[in-house]
Structure 1
Amino acid sequence: MDKLKAMASFVRIVETGSLTAAAQRQDVSLTAVVRGLSALEQALGARLLNRTTRRIALTEEGREYFERCRRVLADVEEAEAALADRPLAPAGRLTVTAPVMFGRLHVAPVINGFLAAHERMRVELLLLDRVIDLLEEGVDLAIRIAPLADSSLVAVPLGRTAWVLSASPGYLARHGTPTHPDDLSRHRAVRSTGRGSGNEWPLVRGAERAQVAVPECFSSNQVDAALEACVAGLGIGRFLAYQVRALEAEGRLVRVLADWQPPPVDVNLVHAQSRLLSPRIRAFMDWAVPRLRERLG
């Protein structure tokens, strides 16, 4: 068994999420991929993947081996590039995930520019308003707009984004404009049920702190729907600043209690720990990080 070839095939299986896709990526038969994986597991004396007819999932042993394989393969790529006395042009497939609206507004344009500059690269952008396991779902990089609880991830800070309270001019004309957090209890809340949008809104003004419960009239798991409800005058919404910027510029939403700012949230680009990143991941980070920081700024 060619151990290096088997390791590369195993990495392709995890990255693509299926044996069939890995076979297509390597231009070999599905039977060859299955036999190679079985031989690798037998040689290691450990099961690397749990396989069903619908999906595959890494075992605990598989997670550790996957990371080690990626490091070894990155070492090989860099060694070959050094011997050739030339920089290794990034090539291959990259999977990036981001929150839906942030990804659409900011990440997608950055990826488009990256692909125009790196014609041998391919990128899949997954827009998801949930936190996923990068290794479990074969994702290389993720934009996280949330506290980072997983210490196994390496985070590259991109900036911060503010929470803001917004309402339509029509709603405020009918129900009045709050001047203090206590006034919010007499209003109605429009909620997006994603991360950081609980039943109580934390507000800060200097050393003052407030935690306000606002009666709910509408909620949605999609921020676009919550924004439309807010524009329609159903209530006051709590959104991230980039989500309402265009609507504010059009005059369809206005800030409420602007001097009471909810605590901002960090924005990070994260990836799994690795001593050496592959050229394709490093190239994307070198391209994307300064551009995303500029957009957040």
Structure 2
Amino acid sequence: MDRWQAMRIFVKVAETGNFAEAARHMHMSAPAVTRAVASLEEVIGARLFVRTTRSVKLTEAGARYFEDCRQILSDIAVAEAAAGGSYATPSGTLAITASALFGQMHVLPILTEFLNSYPTMRARTLFIDRPVNIVEEGIDVAVRIGHLPDSGFTAIRVGTIRRVICGSPAYFERHGVPMTPADLKAHRIAASTSAWASPEWRFAGDQRVTIDPILQCNTNEAVIATAKDGWGLTRVLHYQIGPALLEGTLQIVLGDHEEPPLPIHILHPEGRHAPAKVRAFVDLAAARLRENRLLN
């Protein structure tokens, strides 16, 4: 077995943490995968994995070799793609992730525009309100709201999003308008239990109010609908109520007390080696999101 193929097998074992799973992904037998890794260990002169009956973990040497192998394999893939033309022309399937409502409202229209421009392309989305491991789930591009941890991925800032308190005009007529964050204690609150949920609502100047919501809903759409019906107040991200603000069915309050907005980034793991499909989509998405007045 050549060194390049053995490196591919080693990387897959490291990513899956399982010899049998790696064998399934690569359409090989488990013994063949084991032999390939053993051959690499013999050539290198160091153990790459610590094996137990329940787990497979990288050794310190294996972890360093894993990162080097990933870079080498990426460089080979770029060279092959460039030789075949796919580095210059978008091709294949593009996988995109974003939070559920943001993806539906703001990423999906960009994605369909992209597909219209490149008819041979295909795409799949993972719009979900939970952290997604881009590498493990085979994602090409992520649109993330919030401050990013240091990941080594390429991140392009494309806008900001406010956290806002809102209610219907009818509610404010009956119950009055809160003038300070502390006034929220006297109002009925519907709160989401989604990824952004927290019983402590923070405001500018390090003001904090612990909320005791009467109603908790597992989706942002539900609390927005409740607020539009005039039942109470809720806190959501600004873009989520854009249509309701234009219609006048919701109004924002306590705007002067808002904490700094959250950044929006387009994220991808391949840096300068990104294939044409990623570069073309990222360029389009960055332009469209920066044009969006709700996000700036």
TM-score normalised by length of structure 2: 0.77
- In structure 2, runs of 5+ residues without a counterpart are 42-47
Cα separation, 1, equivalents of 2:120 and 2:31: 29
Q: Secondary structure at the match of 2:257?
A: coil
1:127 Cα deviation after fit: 0.8
The alpha-carbon distance between structure 1 residues 84 and 202, as it changes in their structure 2 partners (threshold 3 A), is closer
Cα separation, 2, equivalents of 1:189 and 1:281: 42
Residue of structure 2 equivalent to 1:26: none
Q: Is the 8 A contact 2:168 2:229 kept in 1?
A: yes
Residue of structure 2 equivalent to 1:116: 116
Q: State the Cα deviation string for residues 198-247 of structure 1 (Å, max 9, x = none).
A: 2122222xxx5522233311122321112112222232111111001111
Residue of structure 1 equivalent to 2:37: 41
1:186 Cα deviation after fit: 0.5
Which of 245, 264, 268 is 1:267 aligned to?
Answer: 264
Cα separation, 1, equivalents of 2:63 and 2:289: 30
The alpha-carbon distance between structure 1 residues 200 and 87, as it changes in their structure 2 partners (threshold 3 A), is closer
Residue of structure 2 equivalent to 1:182: 182
Q: Is the 8 A contact 2:199 2:211 kept in 1?
A: yes
Residue of structure 1 equivalent to 2:130: 130
Q: Is the 8 A contact 1:97 1:126 kept in 2?
A: yes
Q: State the Cα deviation string for residues 38-86 of structure 1 (Å, max 9, x = none).
A: 4543433446999x9xxxx995579877765554344334434665799
Aligned-partner residue type, residue 241 of structure 1: H
1:267 Cα deviation after fit: 0.8
Residue of structure 1 equivalent to 2:287: 290
After TM superposition, list the pairs within 5 Å mapping 1:59-78 onto structure 2: 60=58, 68=68, 71-78=71-78
Cα separation, 1, equivalents of 2:145 and 2:109: 18
Residue of structure 1 equivalent to 2:214: 217
Which of 234, 241, 244 is 1:244 aligned to?
Answer: 241
1:95 Cα deviation after fit: 2.0
1:165 Cα deviation after fit: 0.8
Q: Secondary structure at the match of 2:255?
A: coil
**118-127 or 41-50: which moved more?**
41-50
- In structure 1, runs of 5+ residues without a counterpart are 24-29
Q: Secondary structure at the match of 2:134?
A: coil
1:2 Cα deviation after fit: 4.4
Residue of structure 2 equivalent to 1:139: 139
- Count of paired positions: 281
The alpha-carbon distance between structure 1 residues 42 and 213, as it changes in their structure 2 partners (threshold 3 A), is same
The alpha-carbon distance between structure 1 residues 85 and 215, as it changes in their structure 2 partners (threshold 3 A), is closer
Q: State the Cα deviation string for residues 142-182 of structure 1 (Å, max 9, x = none).
A: 22112212434332111111111101222222211112222
Q: Secondary structure at the match of 1:148?
A: coil
Q: Is the 8 A contact 1:99 1:129 kept in 2?
A: yes
Q: Is the 8 A contact 2:166 2:250 kept in 1?
A: yes
> RMSD in angstroms over aligned alpha carbons?
3.6
Q: Secondary structure at the match of 1:197?
A: coil
Residue of structure 2 equivalent to 1:199: 199
Q: Is the 8 A contact 1:6 1:40 kept in 2?
A: yes
Cα separation, 1, equivalents of 2:291 and 2:65: 37
Q: Secondary structure at the match of 1:216?
A: coil
Residue of structure 2 equivalent to 1:27: none
Cα separation, 2, equivalents of 1:252 and 1:9: 57
The alpha-carbon distance between structure 1 residues 35 and 265, as it changes in their structure 2 partners (threshold 3 A), is same
**76-85 or 148-157: which moved more?**
76-85
Q: Is the 8 A contact 1:19 1:33 kept in 2?
A: no
Q: Secondary structure at the match of 1:125?
A: strand
1:90 Cα deviation after fit: 2.3
1:34 Cα deviation after fit: 5.8
1:196 Cα deviation after fit: 3.8
Q: Is the 8 A contact 1:188 1:214 kept in 2?
A: no
Cα separation, 2, equivalents of 1:89 and 1:58: 39
Q: Is the 8 A contact 2:166 2:251 kept in 1?
A: yes
Residue of structure 1 equivalent to 2:255: 258
Cα separation, 2, equivalents of 1:58 and 1:264: 42
Residue of structure 2 equivalent to 1:280: 277
The alpha-carbon distance between structure 1 residues 131 and 108, as it changes in their structure 2 partners (threshold 3 A), is same
Q: Secondary structure at the match of 2:226?
A: helix
Residue of structure 2 equivalent to 1:162: 162
Q: Is the 8 A contact 1:47 1:59 kept in 2?
A: yes
